């Protein structure tokens, strides 16, 4: 079965479950209206996608691979790990603050664009949330937000000529569409990042993980050593103390008789 093969392939990145019987409430909850259907659900981001086929290896595999990450993913160290095995280019939107109302509206537009352009990954980052990462793309030198760039994870990124940033006074959905058209037509300008590349960030994460593991192993070894030291430490036996006390009592009891014998000999 195709789904079983893909479940084994992606077992470290996703949970797979098969449901044969389900209620209408479940169909409403997961937003599908016919079967068979494959539902991808990201509980951390409250996002889901539905696939109705064809359920062949190539099409099903592409759908699962493209939906291992959400439609529009916030950039952080955890999501960078997810992107490490994805060879698609990243449409990165840089905004001032992800939590602002205008930013949330823009994120919804990005999700819609991502749904129609599955060959690209759509990500976003707020300068307020992760300024170090945003500044590698010149966010600290530009006050025109939100910015749109194309990034493939290395030291280079691209801006689309005429659409380096979005005008909040105009229809942003149309601007995103024109940005994507410019990208596909090759109307881009190449630039260099000013900080760690994607792989550099991943190496930092890996080094930090190794450091944590080494630290935990050292703590466990120290605890084990202290425990072994306590076990080997000599202890005074209670029974030996009792024997010593009894010996002292017997010695004290015998002492008067011994004194009597000494006096008799002297007489």
pLDDT tens string, the chain, 267 residues long: the values are 688 888 888 888 888 888 877 788 888 887 888 888 888 888 887 788 888 888 887 888 888 888 888 899 999 988 888 888 888 999 999 999 999 999 999 999 999 999 999 999 999 999 999 999 999 998 888 778 999 999 988 889 999 999 999 998 899 999 999 999 999 999 999 999 886 555 555 454 444 454 566 656 667 777 777 777 555 555 554 445 444 554 444 444 444 444 444 444 444
Check whether residue 74 and residue 198 sit in a common domain. Answer: yes
What is the model's pTM? Answer: 0.68
Position 249 scores a pLDDT of: 46
Domain boundary among 11, 34, 68: 68
Question: Do 46 and 147 fall into the same domain?
Answer: no
> Can you give the residue range of the structural domain that contains 59?
1-68
58 plus 102 within the same structural domain? no
Number of domains in the chain: 2
- State whether residue 147 is helix, strand or coil: strand
CB atoms closer than 10 angstroms to residue 134: 23
Whether 64 and 127 map to the same domain: the answer is no
User: 12 and 121 in one domain?
Assistant: no
């Amino acid at each position: 079965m195709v789904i079983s093969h893909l479940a084994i392939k992606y077992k470290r990145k996703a949970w797979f479950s098969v449901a044969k019987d389900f209620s209408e409430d479940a169909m409403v909850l997961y937003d599908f209206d016919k079967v068979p259907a494959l539902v991808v659900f990201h509980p951390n981001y409250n996002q889901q996608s539905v696939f109705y086929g064809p359920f062949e290896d190539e099409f099903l595999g592409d759908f699962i691979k493209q939906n291992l990450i959400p439609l529009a993913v916030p950039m952080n160290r955890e999501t960078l790990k997810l992107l490490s095995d994805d060879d698609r280019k990243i449409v990165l939107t840089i905004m001032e603050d992800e939590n602002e109302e205008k930013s949330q509206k823009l994120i919804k537009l990005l999700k819609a664009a991502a749904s129609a352009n599955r060959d690209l990954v759509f990500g976003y980052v707020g300068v307020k949330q992760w300024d170090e990462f945003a500044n590698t793309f010149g966010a600290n030198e530009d006050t025109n937000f939100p910015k749109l760039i194309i990034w493939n994870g290395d030291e280079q990124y691209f801006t689309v000529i005429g659409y380096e940033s979005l005008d909040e006074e105009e229809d942003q959905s149309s601007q995103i569409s024109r940005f994507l058209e410019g990208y596909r037509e090759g109307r881009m300008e190449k630039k260099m990042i000013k900080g760690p590349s994607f792989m550099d960030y991943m190496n930092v994460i890996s080094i930090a993980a190794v450091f944590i593991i080494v630290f935990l192993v050292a703590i466990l070894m120290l605890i084990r050593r202290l425990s072994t030291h306590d076990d080997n430490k000599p202890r005074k036996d209670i029974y030996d103390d009792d024997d010593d006390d009894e010996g002292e009592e017997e010695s004290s009891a015998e002492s008067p008789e011994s004194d009597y014998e000494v006096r008799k000999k002297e007489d």
